[in-house]
Structure 1
């Protein structure tokens, strides 16, 4: 069992509970643990777990705890090993929340670089679960669904820009001992993984960018839609009572949003971020930080004078305005080994709207040697 943990109090790193050593080791494989050993083990397990539970995922000092359990043929002894380190290895980076979708073929997955996927604005790792499970099954690789900073369960920070998100991804790989991965990013996360690819090309096996390109974002999105969306979400909180259950709260919120957002899928996508806090309802994303840093996130020059030879697949939805076939020329100036495929009948959330077609595209792309061989548009 591998457990990621962190502590607000550096003194916890010297807690005796985190430096467990195996009790006297049996000298024969057939030996059984004595009752006193078993009692010692049980006594140690609870404080170890309690110490892990007391850690905070957003603190600055971190401890990576690997708990290995060894069970002999007829023995009952355990060993716990804990390795601690500082989070200051990469300046400005935070540790991202994630979920792991494992391939059923463990042998193949262990020999191949994993896939690291992240959703766009107001996206969460849970919203990526269906496509990540399908990608793991189709490609034979382990797939990490990762929350960007200020979204999902990842830490909230005042600042957010592509230099910081690059540091976050670098730390994510470092913590897992991964030297290279394929990155999948949708919309805002697509811009994030593009910046990572030009900054850390040796860490990128392949790149999949979903419904965004290298051109500037539409001004209406930056100046009108995002501020309104954040304000509307903040206003919704004033309409909710702590006495409401989550279903009732989402019904009230949906009724309010429906006056401005006609698409029920978009409303459902947003409302998945609503959760009940200790005293009132709250949103998972850091709305203030996203709104405050929108200029940095929409920076039209963040890829200026950049280039990466990584093999890249850009996937557009033909019912979306964010990426079209005309954008390929600009994309190739930065990613010369890029190809662009448009999925018919797909909206901005291509990977969720047309999951089967999207997974087939990524599977074929991962199997192809070079982008000269065109992919078929579904």
Structure 2
């Protein structure tokens, strides 16, 4: 277990794509993704699908995806979940819908028995996919979240309010946007992360949100929920990688997790909730050891 605690201070740049039109559908939707492919033609291991958390995107996993692909000889897909990144803005934003999206993605891209890795909200999607579609995956790695209903914390809604104020104010620089967001969040690192959800309007040249603020505001209860029955089990390879100082993991959460994943291992790193960002090297080691141990 690692004892040092650092948060890398990175420069995040917005991706300039036009926001999608808001729609509603009960059917699975296609998802935007980044694919890191192996360069050699020899035998490859199980593909990996990486799922981000709330307010995240496929960009969060880009560096790790390339490293896993190159070092562990496999294809890696980093996905934008619905209402995030470059994927479609659409209701409902529920775990049943997001899980259907992932199952559809696996089928559409003919991905054979992938390992699903998910952080926070993406971790719940990963767990749900393994519980509901165990026959199409080979393993699941959950990052600092459990199969329980939990509180998102006051800041989650504050971030949406901050992005709304940025849109209303009509700012043309990231410095101005950061100044507004600083009223809602003191941490520079977290503000930089939230600001990746801004894009420039092609007409006004002002920054606006690329995520659907109205949909996500109305979906907070669904995002904090865990709507699946306790009798569901996944008996395949699984592991939970958690932050020792995270507020999302406690004995109740661990008990619920082991109920659904009785054959799982659990590892703790000296981090908060952002395990893979705070300790990227240690996280990579745990993930690669899991893959090698189970010969995936």
Q: TM-score, normalised to structure 1's length?
A: 0.68
1:105 equivalent to 2:40? Answer: yes
Q: Which residue is 2:141 aligned to?
A: 208
Q: Which residue is 1:182 aligned to?
A: 115
Equivalent of residue 223 in structure 2, options 297, 300, 315: 297
Q: Which residue is 1:134 aligned to?
A: 67
> Whole-Å Cα distance in 2 between the matches of residues 287 and 164 of structure 1?
18
> Whole-Å Cα distance in 1 between the matches of residues 112 and 199 of structure 2?
36
1:234 equivalent to 2:160? Answer: no
Equivalent of residue 185 in structure 2, options 242, 261, 266: 261
Q: Which residue is 1:167 aligned to?
A: 100
Structure 1: tracts of 5 or more residues without a match: 1-56, 61-87, 371-378
1:195 equivalent to 2:195? Answer: no
Q: 1:59 to 1:226 in 2, by over 3 A?
A: closer
> Whole-Å Cα distance in 1 between the matches of residues 240 and 144 of structure 2?
7
Equivalent of residue 319 in structure 1, options 237, 242, 245: 245
**CA-CA distance at 1:177 after TM superposition:** 1.2
**CA-CA distance at 1:227 after TM superposition:** 2.4
Secondary structure of the 2:140 match is strand
Greater relative contact order structure (CA < 8 Å, 6+ sep): 2
1:114 equivalent to 2:44? Answer: no
Contact kept? 1:102, 1:142, Cα under 8 Å: yes
1:291-345: CA deviations, max 9, x gaps?
Answer: 112222222443433211121111112232112466433211111111111112x
- Give the structure with higher Rg (CA): 1
1:65-80 to 2 correspondences below 5 Å? none
Q: 1:194 to 1:303 in 2, by over 3 A?
A: farther
Q: CA RMSD in A?
A: 2.3
Q: Which residue is 1:355 aligned to?
A: 280
Contact kept? 1:328, 1:339, Cα under 8 Å: no
Q: 1:254 to 1:279 in 2, by over 3 A?
A: same
Secondary structure of the 1:173 match is helix
Give every structure 1 segment of 4 or more consecutive aligned residues whose post-TM-superposition deviation is greater than 4 Å: 57-60
1:155-178: CA deviations, max 9, x gaps?
Answer: 110211111111111111111112
Q: Which residue is 1:364 aligned to?
A: 289
Secondary structure of the 1:99 match is strand
1:64-83: CA deviations, max 9, x gaps?
Answer: xxxxxxxxxxxxxxxxxxxx
> Whole-Å Cα distance in 2 between the matches of residues 102 and 140 of structure 1?
9
1:146 equivalent to 2:71? Answer: no
Bigger drift between 195-204 and 318-327 goes to 318-327
Bigger drift between 150-159 and 100-109 goes to 100-109
Structure 2: tracts of 5 or more residues without a match: 1-19
Q: 1:326 to 1:299 in 2, by over 3 A?
A: closer
> Whole-Å Cα distance in 2 between the matches of residues 354 and 308 of structure 1?
28
Q: 1:273 to 1:106 in 2, by over 3 A?
A: farther
1:223-254: CA deviations, max 9, x gaps?
Answer: x333222122111112234xx3xxxx211121
Q: TM-score, normalised to structure 2's length?
A: 0.85
> Whole-Å Cα distance in 1 between the matches of residues 55 and 46 of structure 2?
27
1:186-224: CA deviations, max 9, x gaps?
Answer: 100101111111100011211011111123212x62xx3
> Whole-Å Cα distance in 2 between the matches of residues 233 and 58 of structure 1?
18
1:18-46: CA deviations, max 9, x gaps?
Answer: xxxxxxxxxxxxxxxxxxxxxxxxxxxxx
**CA-CA distance at 1:119 after TM superposition:** 0.7
**CA-CA distance at 1:131 after TM superposition:** 1.5
